[in-house]
Amino acid sequence: MGITIPASFGTYPRILGHYVREMKLLTLEDAVHKATGMAARRMRLGARGLVRPGYAADLVIFNPERSDAPPIRELQRQRQQESTT
């Protein structure tokens, strides 16, 4: 499986929980746009990043009041358990 970078665990839930809900540095809409439409445009991915007819999309339904990431060490432990089973 290789080396896993701890910062890769729970990035978007952490952004939604910490920077949107707790610190109020971003609106929910801005955070979602930065993670989807803006990222797709920056990576030059055509027909992605927006919910629009003809576009490819994976949609996630979440509760913004509860979205958050567990501590990184907990996520690492879960990942290690999954890789050994």
In order of 14, 18, 46, 84, the CA distances from 23 in angstroms are 12, 6, 33, 37
Per-residue confidence in pLDDT tens, the chain, 85 aa? 566 666 666 788 889 999 999 999 999 999 999 999 999 999 999 999 999 999 999 898 989 898 887 666 776 777 778 777 6
CA atoms lying within 13 Å on the CB side of residue 19: 15
What tokens were used for 37? 């439409």
Give the pLDDT score at 54: 96
Give the pLDDT score at 4: 63
Give the pLDDT score at 75: 67
